[in-house]
Structure 1
Amino acid sequence: MQERESIYDIEVTSLEGERQTLEQYRGKVLLIVNVASKCGFTPQYAGLEELYRSYRDRGLVVLGFPCDQFGHQEPGDAEEIRSFCSLTYQVSFPMFAKIEVNGPGTHPLYRLLKSAQKGLLGSEAIKWNFTKFLVDRGGEVVQRYAPTATPESIAKDILPLL
């Protein structure tokens, strides 16, 4: 039987262009979100930042993955994304390079997340920006949240994992 790939082995690229694995987040509770700067849910950046600032000292890390697959709502390059997040929402949690979450170019991280926690009616497809995945300290994907789930509403699920 083949061992399942660990979330910590997956390579990602930071918004600054540095390639790394998620190994540095081992032992942390992760909230992984596909984000966009021109989406109706974009104001959730404020709630995500609030969660991060409130619980980072207890082991929570929010990871933002910009995605332009839904209505061309993340058209900018890395510098534009960084500037928007910093100036508009004072984002301090880790942000990564733009990725695809659906289709043949799906990033390996999202292949793992979607297979671990299916969406509505068993669908794996990400339906829109700001879909969220909660990962426990052991690297298990424990919950998937619809874009409409606010960061504030997710806090009740995060707290027991900290």
Structure 2
Amino acid sequence: MVKPRLNVQMKGLDKTIERFEILAKKKKKETAELVNQKAIDIQRGAKKRAPVDDGALRASIVIEKFQNGMAARVGSRLPYAAYQEWGTGIYAQHPDIPGRKTPWSFKHPKTGEWWINFRGAKPQPFLFPAFEAEREDFLKRIEELYKTL
């Protein structure tokens, strides 16, 4: 038995592929620009919300871009930034880290004063509220950007 053959000839395939490549590059650039703008907005919001003693925490909030600009990380590398965001001791609110329930003593690094029977510090969230303030707008804009595909 002879199998039937089907010959398909496509005209303009090269142009179609070229148009898709141009569109993909354009969307990639627009996506990277949107990610960058939202990272800047989150950084600005976090700096506004950050508790201020000497300004070190606020000044330490930076943007780190990766994945060819398609992703960004906003945050601080200061060791105490997480304590400010999530609290410590009996006030700790991080979902994975239970706070210490017993009091402790320590010497304040700036004043040299001893804090006796310290039970913890209340959280002063600054980074996650800044992120949440931008989330909905980012999702809406990224959806609009890719609707045209």
What TM bracket, shorter-length normalisation? under 0.3
Greater relative contact order structure (CA < 8 Å, 6+ sep): 1
Q: In terms of Rg, which structure is larger?
A: 2
Structure (1 or 2) with the greater strand fraction: 1
Structure (1 or 2) with the greater helix fraction: 2
